[in-house]
Amino acid sequence: MLCERCHERPATVHVTKIINGVQTAYHLCEVCAKEQGDVFPNPFLMGSPFDFNKLLSGLLNMESSSGFAPVTTQVQTRCGTCGMTYNQFTQIGRFGCPDCYDAFSARLESLLRRIQNGLRHTGKVPGSAGERQQVARKLEQLRRELQQAVAQEQFERAAQLRDEIRKLEQGAQ
């Protein structure tokens, strides 16, 4: 299909507008679409104004907007390895090193809870592996509880958890 404006180049941009319930569609080449000016640029083309890091930065700065608790710390948290501050992270949208995750963990927890309703990303589990995955997650949870029970010297609870872990491990084999 050729561009409906210049009739020379192939149409690669397809625009549909709905104004007052009236739908109009037209097909333009990239050059004519840029000249038209009312078409949002493709974020995947080179030189695009879309920046994923700026989008992430906007999410990170949500805590300073209305509806969120104000930041009360005056001292800038700084990564001990690369020296990046949390403010620099919110401006750039990415960490300077892997240790930044630990350095900013307190601030990241509230952000992750807002974005994904929890601290742990669980993802999707394929139907065929669902049961095994559930057993593996249950075992992981029970082992954490066992460690906590032992640390708190709750030995009866620890024995119950140990037995439950053994049953699950035997059933998984």
User: What is residue 67's predicted lDDT score, i.e. its pLDDT?
Assistant: 43
Residues of the chain with pLDDT under 50: 44, 46-47, 63-74
User: What is residue 7's predicted lDDT score, i.e. its pLDDT?
Assistant: 92
Q: Is 142 exposed, middle or buried (0-12, 13-18, 19+ CB in 10 A)?
A: middle
User: What is residue 75's predicted lDDT score, i.e. its pLDDT?
Assistant: 57
User: What is residue 77's predicted lDDT score, i.e. its pLDDT?
Assistant: 79
**Per-residue DSSP letter, 10:** B
Q: Is 20 exposed, middle or buried (0-12, 13-18, 19+ CB in 10 A)?
A: exposed
The pTM (predicted TM-score) of the whole model is: 0.34
User: What is residue 49's predicted lDDT score, i.e. its pLDDT?
Assistant: 55
User: What is residue 56's predicted lDDT score, i.e. its pLDDT?
Assistant: 61
Vertex 96 angle, CA 109 and 53, to 5°: 75
| Residues forming beta bridges with residue 78, ordered by sequence position | 85
User: What is residue 71's predicted lDDT score, i.e. its pLDDT?
Assistant: 46
User: What is residue 117's predicted lDDT score, i.e. its pLDDT?
Assistant: 64
